[in-house]
Structure 1
Amino acid sequence: MTDPTSPYPPGPYPPGFVWGVSTSAYQIEGAAAKDGRGASIWDIRCRTQGGVVNGDTGDVACDHYHRMPEDVALMKGLGVDAYRFSVSWPRVLPRGKGAVNEAGLDFYDRLIDRLLEAGIEPWLCLYHWDLPQALQDLGGWSARDCAGWYADYAALCARRYGDRVKRWITFNEFSVFTLFGYAIPWAAPGIVDRAQHLRAIHHVNLAHGAGVDVLRALVPGASIGAIHNRQVVIPETDTPENRAAAALLDEHWNLVFCDPQILGHYPPQTAAAIEPYVQPGDMARIARPVDWFGLNHYGPIFAKADPARTWGYGWGDAPPDSPTHGVGWAIFPDAFRDELLTIQRRYRLPIVVTENGCGGSDTVSPDGAVHDPHRINYLTIYNAAMRDAMAQGADVQGYFVWSLLDNFEWGSGYGQRFGIVHVDFQTLARSPKDSARWYADLIRSAKAQGRLP
């Protein structure tokens, strides 16, 4: 079960530890124009020249919209306790506000009921990057009104699903969709504008706070969290320019959402820049109590000064001797351990690892299996690092693999595979990889260990 060469002790998982898998709506559902769904900003991005590798789209993706029962059966076979998924805002509100789409709401009713029948707890994420294009046409996250539109959408979902769903997530990876959507044009809506980036940060924070209040009011017993993608930011080389670039990127990536939402203030450089957009009472509206901290983590970021970029920083390269996995990302399990400990000390909340995983170019072998030893190695050493953090005081209460399925990986299209289940994007056939069996074994072993006297 564990790598004998790992420097981390195996250690037990605590009672009640949650094992899960994660996905997101646009990446797996497909049926992009089916049953009244409206267009999202990613539908438009996919049709923008150069927006996505190979011109790939989420039109079909994994066709989860039609194959959902099969996918829930796969999860049941893994033995997971929970499934983290997102609701497609434009599927339930095609224009982002106003008239609801009952067919879209019905789909999530069926999903939630199927999960509960399988003994799997639904963890519902309200926003995983698919803003309705109709709202983008009105200014999107750069418009303060978007926080109110989001609150109304959250209320719709809370009223519809709150009788069965008690685990709620306001947003997934705030920093990614704001930075890459409004400052570095790697994601939808592909805007490059400092002022719009700052407004988007603040308005998304306001939306988060409003969403927490809505869920508290409408879902008795709700357990509410938000998901932050946090990684240590390291200067590519130790120069004053790169250190300054890393410090500002650290604020934009790691602090501008966690700090105001939990501590009630923006970090220093951002606080000065964002002040013109902050109205009286805003910080109290943002800093609403949550129950747990969601962490998505893969590896460190290496930053370098880049005067051509909006904020003067860019992505650098890891040291040339760094181990990497299949998509070229650096493998640094120590950074994962340290991040968990940093979060525990700074925010003093229970932690759920809501994404961790490894990409590759996995293929079906002649024997009919999908062998992915690189992913098993990655998951083994990162789980060991997590256990080490727990032994040092990090209150980690759950772990979700990204992802259940190979899927549409945003700007990379279908060229990167993160799933523990292989998807043939021609036939849409599902094939559990060796890592799926490894994960099922880990879950069984951890639960058996927890039952020992």
Structure 2
Amino acid sequence: MDAHLAAYPMIHGLYPDAKVGVAHHLRVFQPRNPRNPAHGGASALSRYLFQDALVEVMATGRSRPPLRRPKGVRPGRYHDFHGINYYTRSTVSGLADGMATNVPVNDLGWEVYPRGIVELAQWVHDRWPAPIWITENGTADAADAFRSRYTYEHLAQIAASGLPIERYYHWCFTDNFEWAEGEAARFGLVHLDYETQVRTVRESGRFYADIIANHGVTEAAYERWVAGQEYPMNGEGN
């Protein structure tokens, strides 16, 4: 936070036309039971602590507890775009993350909720209007059984939104080392053999390349890579 608020005016002092912003990991939070006030309060608190307060201070220099504005920083505009890293939605009934019942999930048990990418982009844009960059979006799918559908459905939400979403970066180009899961979670458009370091383009990678080449999803591409894919479903919610 301190580094961004200090760097923003410094960068613009050197490069006036530079685009400076932050990639925020954002998540949709909702109460497990919308009619339960305790669930609603827990959901709002989770959202506030996870993202609301941090996004506000990084965008405007205005801080709310538990954050404190660094000395010498004046409220103003500290963003030229909003970066959003989006993956999933959480349903909240207490202090721990939960999951709705009978919803599509990825290999890590995260809910697949494409609408959320637009809900969050709308929330950010309504409060601090600026271009939006999707700086991360992807899913853990070792078998490559539903990644193409995931990509298609999130891009479809973006295309229909009417929001100024200027860029989309898929996570990830190759399988990567995840913070908690290590090599177990497979996010790549390209499969990485960790023993030999051999890379092999997955079918989802070919689909993504086709989108780029055709500036969109053709009917043929949809039928080849998306139409037959289905998500696994979870059991009882937590």
TM-score, normalised to structure 1's length?
0.45
- One-letter code of the match for 1:223? K
Following superposition of structure 1 onto structure 2, how do residues 249-268 of structure 1 map, counting pairs within 5 Å?
249-266=46-63
**Structure 1 residue 416: deviation in Å?**
0.3
- One-letter code of the match for 2:127? R
Structure 1 residues 367-404: Cα deviation after superposition (integer angstroms, max 9, x where no partner): xxxxx2300010011110111112xxx10111110001
CA–CA distance in structure 1, aligned partners of residues 192 and 6 of structure 2: 37
What is the match of residue 413 of structure 1?
182
**Structure 1 residue 343: deviation in Å?**
2.0
CA–CA distance in structure 1, aligned partners of residues 217 and 204 of structure 2: 20
Q: Does 1:231 align with 2:8?
A: no
CA–CA distance in structure 2, aligned partners of residues 299 and 229 of structure 1: 10
- One-letter code of the match for 1:233? F
Aligned counterpart for 2:97 among listed residues 315, 322, 326:
315
Structure 1 residues 20-75: Cα deviation after superposition (integer angstroms, max 9, x where no partner): xxxxxxxxxxxxxxxxxxxxxxxxxxxxxxxxxxxxxxxxxxxxxxxxxxxxxxxx
Structure 2 residue ranges without an equivalent (≥5):
219-238
Aligned counterpart for 2:160 among listed residues 365, 388, 397:
388
Structure 1 residues 293-333: Cα deviation after superposition (integer angstroms, max 9, x where no partner): 1111112122232xxxxxxx2212x2221111222111111
Higher helix share: 1
Q: Does 1:446 align with 2:206?
A: no
- One-letter code of the match for 2:83? G
Following superposition of structure 1 onto structure 2, how do residues 188-203 of structure 1 map, counting pairs within 5 Å?
none
Structure 1 residues 58-110: Cα deviation after superposition (integer angstroms, max 9, x where no partner): xxxxxxxxxxxxxxxxxxxxxxxxxxxxxxxxxxxxxxxxxxxxxxxxxxxxx
State, as a whole percentage, how many aligned pairs show the same letter.
27
**Structure 1 residue 290: deviation in Å?**
2.2
What is the aligned-residue RMSD (CA, Å)? 2.2
Q: Does 1:292 align with 2:88?
A: no
**Structure 1 residue 448: deviation in Å?**
11
CA–CA distance in structure 1, aligned partners of residues 193 and 70 of structure 2: 50
Q: Does 1:247 align with 2:36?
A: no
CA–CA distance in structure 2, aligned partners of residues 320 and 235 of structure 1: 13
What is the match of residue 402 of structure 1?
171
Q: Does 1:436 align with 2:205?
A: yes
Structure 1 residues 272-301: Cα deviation after superposition (integer angstroms, max 9, x where no partner): 444xx55654443xx443221111111212
Q: Does 1:375 align with 2:144?
A: no
**Structure 1 residue 263: deviation in Å?**
3.6
Following superposition of structure 1 onto structure 2, how do residues 274-293 of structure 1 map, counting pairs within 5 Å?
274=67, 277-278=68-69, 281-284=72-75, 287-293=76-82
CA–CA distance in structure 1, aligned partners of residues 52 and 209 of structure 2: 35
Q: Is the 8 A contact 1:422 1:433 kept in 2?
A: yes
Structure 1 residues 175-207: Cα deviation after superposition (integer angstroms, max 9, x where no partner): xxxxxxxxxxxxxxxxxxxxxxxxxxxxxx222
SS class of match (1:359):
coil
In terms of Rg, which structure is larger? 1
Aligned counterpart for 1:214 among listed residues 10, 22, 41:
10
CA–CA distance in structure 2, aligned partners of residues 279 and 326 of structure 1: 40
Aligned counterpart for 2:193 among listed residues 415, 418, 424:
424
- Where has structure 1 moved over 4 Å in runs of 4 or more? 277-280
- One-letter code of the match for 2:131? P
Structure 1 residues 339-381: Cα deviation after superposition (integer angstroms, max 9, x where no partner): 222222221100111111111223xxxxxxxxx2300010011
- One-letter code of the match for 1:253? F
CA–CA distance in structure 1, aligned partners of residues 3 and 97 of structure 2: 28
Q: Is the 8 A contact 1:338 1:389 kept in 2?
A: no
